[in-house]
Structure 1
Amino acid sequence: MRTKRELYQEAMRTVALRRQAARANAEDARAEAEAAIPALRHAEEEVRVRGVRCALAGASGGDRTAAAAALTKAKQELAALLASSGRPADALEPHFTCKKCQDTGSFEGHTCECIHKLMQKLRREEIEKLSSLSVSSFDTMELRYYPNTMDEKLGEPVRTYMGGLLEELRAYAEEFDRSSESLMLFGNAGLGKTHAALAIAGIVLAKDMDVIYVSSPDFFAKLEALHFGSDPSGEEETLLQTAAGADLLILDDLGTEFNSSFFLSTLYSLLNNRLGAHLPTIVTTNITDGALLEKLYTEKISSRLSSFVPCLFVGKDIRGQKAREES
């Protein structure tokens, strides 16, 4: 899990390499063109000289009409030379990936949107490496896997209920901001909880917000190993701060981790800090019994989780159904 600063630095390195490559490609193109067109170098120099004279005329407050006309003529002659060899007018210019900032990462004194998009892409790739699923979409959550049978407790068919729940979760993602409520997606295994959480992540990432996804057992096991082992670089604190400060934190598969005093105190601190900062968290868990939840996580943690909006997933194991279809 990288911090936002680390993502920014990596994105800046990426655009710097793009700029370097564009300029190198332009130099190669110029050398090739000059070798093929003997008059090209003189034409380029004429454009440069006319450009300087035009700028000087403007700076002195004089009439720059004649200088501008001469510059236009020089550019036309250069374009004609390039065209005669089958090259476009901009053949000698660097072709930057981002037209706005020309791969500098800055536009009009602010971080260019290309940097934000790269940071989103890097975070998305990170989540996909950490999760068993790619950053998913609600469109790939097929309702046919939920039985179209009446559920007495719900008072409606399972498929109808799940269709409504998934639409509510999609709306949550589309309307998401830093004041959104926290959610607890709970239900038996294989019903699409992680899929739905990752679908929310994909939409929220596209809003230029930072999403941290962690598998609860892996995340807390790593923290505990760092806490009781060697951590000279302070990685434990960095991981905790990154998770605590994310616009959206997804704690997947809560209830499958090793239950230790360190885990309980760290989970409580993380939840408490995020709730205190009014930052949304999504928890997925197979635990459907509130009494068991309190028994596992103590009353303090249970009370924090009770403030999350409950989202019950019902039906039959979708993974099993898909496995049977593929066999």
Structure 2
Amino acid sequence: MSDRYINELLLEYEKLRTNAEQQAKTRQIEVYKKIPRIKDIDASLRKIGLEIAKAVIKGNDDMKNLIEREKKVCTDLRVEKAELLTKHNFPADYMEPKYRCPDCQDTGYIGTEKCHCLKQRIIDKHYDQSNIRNILKKENFEMFVFDYYSPHKFNGEQISPRKNIEDIFKACIEFVNNFDTTSQNLFFYGDSGLGKTFLSNCIAKDLLDKGKLVIYQTSSSLIEILREAQFDNNDTGFKEKLEDVFDCELLIIDDLGTEYITDFSQMELFNLINKRLITQKKMIISTNLSLDNIFNTYSERITSRIFGNFTMFKFYGEDIRIKIAQEKRKKSK
């Protein structure tokens, strides 16, 4: 995760912690006014704490006995405090800060390890930035349906669409499982309506749930981000999107070939792909273009990076979207 997101989250934690402690301070003042004895108890507890600290620093010979005596006094004072609070209809912990996460007390960390609450916030943050939060509720590995793919050979291909998609599905699972140890990038190509974007989203969901930063962009939106970030120096929003595009752990570029092809778009696309390859940041690219069309559309610098650094997967068969639409019409009759 980028430092920017971590810093944003830690700032949120700091605000939560400050708010909890300010509210506790307000409740403390309320209690002190109603029960002055509790103010005296808290002062005594602080004084004892200082005395114990001084004894430890000085290495007092009677330090162990002193600590034991003072602990007993502290226990008696805390019991008296709890009894007074209860007597006046206050909960025993009324004066304590009410942290959203009692485990880390809204710091985000337990020792040097991220607390479970911060890990979840990171996942939520990644989902927010991914651009596909809502779609992933219905496009994930558990929802993938193989029955839409024919078990019979198709247009001279060596294996059936069903066997082909099973092999691709398995490769996608392995990509997720080996994400931290592989340098593999994926390139999905074939006609529309065959599951390229669906499987990209399946991968995205599993990695987001593991706390990875995944960014999805169509190629046309991606070129727009690159253009705006370069020519509008005052727009921090586009600059932050640009940072995500270059630095996220997985970048999904969907519908390659639908962007307006210009010298600028080709140069920026090459720079992006090349930099992510150099920094070993993984990518998935999907396109409806054939391999011949890719060679004819893009510069040699781009095609050499793609074909030299991506694992190619061809999708083929009948359009799944048409099959689903036909099923819905039958059910509605």
Q: Specify the TM-score bucket, using the shorter chain as the normaliser.
A: 0.7 to 0.9
CA distance in 1, matches of 2:189, 2:87: 68
More deviation, 95-104/119-128: 95-104
TM-score by length of 1: 0.82
Q: CA deviation digits over 1:139-164, x for unaligned, max 9?
A: 122334x2343124555553343234
Tell me how far 1:239 sits from its aligned partner. Answer: 5.2
Go from structure 1 to structure 2 and tell me whether the alpha carbon gap of 1:32 and 1:194 turns closer, same or farther (over 3 Å shift): farther
Tell me how far 1:182 sits from its aligned partner. Answer: 0.5
Q: Which amino acid aligns with 2:296?
A: K
**Aligned pairs (5 A) from 1:169-318:** 169-177=172-180, 179-227=182-230, 229-232=231-234, 240=242, 242-287=244-289, 289-307=290-308, 308-318=310-320
Q: Which amino acid aligns with 1:58?
A: V
- Is the partner of 2:299 in helix, strand or coil? helix
Q: CA deviation digits over 1:50-105, x for unaligned, max 9?
A: 33333333333323211111112212222333445565543321132344543235
**Cα pair 1:214 1:251 within 8 Å, conserved:** yes
Q: Structure 2, unaligned stretches of length 5 or more?
A: none
Percent pairwise identity: 26
CA distance in 2, matches of 1:132, 1:50: 55
CA distance in 1, matches of 2:315, 2:51: 72
- Number of aligned positions between the proteins: 321
Q: Structure 1, unaligned stretches of length 5 or more?
A: none
Go from structure 1 to structure 2 and tell me whether the alpha carbon gap of 1:186 and 1:84 turns closer, same or farther (over 3 Å shift): farther
**Aligned pairs (5 A) from 1:43-122:** 43-61=41-59, 62=63, 63-84=66-87, 88-99=91-102, 101-105=104-108, 108=111, 114-115=117-118, 117-122=120-125
Go from structure 1 to structure 2 and tell me whether the alpha carbon gap of 1:300 and 1:46 turns closer, same or farther (over 3 Å shift): same
Q: Which amino acid aligns with 1:201?
A: A
TM-score by length of 2: 0.80
RMSD: 3.3
Go from structure 1 to structure 2 and tell me whether the alpha carbon gap of 1:180 and 1:117 turns closer, same or farther (over 3 Å shift): farther
More deviation, 150-159/63-72: 150-159
**Cα pair 1:183 1:281 within 8 Å, conserved:** yes
Q: Which amino acid aligns with 2:20?
A: A
Go from structure 1 to structure 2 and tell me whether the alpha carbon gap of 1:23 and 1:195 turns closer, same or farther (over 3 Å shift): farther
Q: Which amino acid aligns with 2:107?
A: T
CA distance in 1, matches of 2:323, 2:235: 46
Go from structure 1 to structure 2 and tell me whether the alpha carbon gap of 1:311 and 1:77 turns closer, same or farther (over 3 Å shift): farther
CA distance in 1, matches of 2:90, 2:318: 62
CA distance in 2, matches of 1:166, 1:103: 40
- Is the partner of 2:25 in helix, strand or coil? helix
CA distance in 2, matches of 1:280, 1:323: 34
CA distance in 1, matches of 2:239, 2:121: 25
CA distance in 2, matches of 1:235, 1:30: 43
Tell me how far 1:177 sits from its aligned partner. Answer: 1.6
- Is the partner of 1:281 in helix, strand or coil? strand
Tell me how far 1:183 sits from its aligned partner. Answer: 0.3
- Is the partner of 1:57 in helix, strand or coil? helix
